[in-house]
Structure 1
Amino acid sequence: MTQQAMYQPPTGGDPVADLSKAPLPTSKTLRSRQNLPIQLLRFISFDLRILRMVAKGHH
């Protein structure tokens, strides 16, 4: 019976995440992330959602 070497993560510090297999964003995704009008619309919609959530909590 052979014994396999177990991976020992480095002690201390932050844990290390393996992102080598993470999907890369498409060119369309990158353009939308860098487009200021789209970002403004996303920001406004996010703010409205948070505002609605806070308003529901204070009845």
Structure 2
Amino acid sequence: MTQLTMSEPSHGGAPIVDLSRAPLPTRATLRRRRNIPLQFLRFVAFDLRIMRMVIKGHH
């Protein structure tokens, strides 16, 4: 099986994805993504929102 890179055309002749103009994350964004305590808090907040939806769905 042949592996395609981002610049090689697919079978249709069009590129798969052109990410050359995509914005890069800022230093602050990268720092937040790597901050373990912040990610844990976001995980807990997300879980609480999901649990609230589940509990409301049972009434």
TM-score past 0.5 threshold: yes
- Which residue of structure 2 aligns with residue 58 of structure 1? 58
Two-structure CA RMSD over aligned residues (Å): 1.9
Q: 5+ residue gaps in structure 1?
A: 1-8
**2-structure distance, mates of 1:33, 1:10:** 32
The amino acid that maps onto 1:10 is S
Among all aligned residue pairs of Structure 1 and Structure 2, give the percentage whose two residues are the same amino acid.
Answer: 67
Q: TM-score, normalised by structure 2?
A: 0.68
Q: 1:10-56, CA deviations, whole angstroms, 9 ceiling, x for partnerless residues?
A: 338xx822222211110000001001100110000010011111111
Q: 5+ residue gaps in structure 2?
A: 1-8
**1-structure distance, mates of 2:17, 2:57:** 36
**2-structure distance, mates of 1:11, 1:35:** 41
How many residue pairs get aligned? The number is 49
Pairs within 5 Å for 1:1-59:
10-11=10-11, 16-59=16-59
Q: TM-score, normalised by structure 1?
A: 0.68
Range moving further from structure 2, 35-44 or 17-26: 17-26
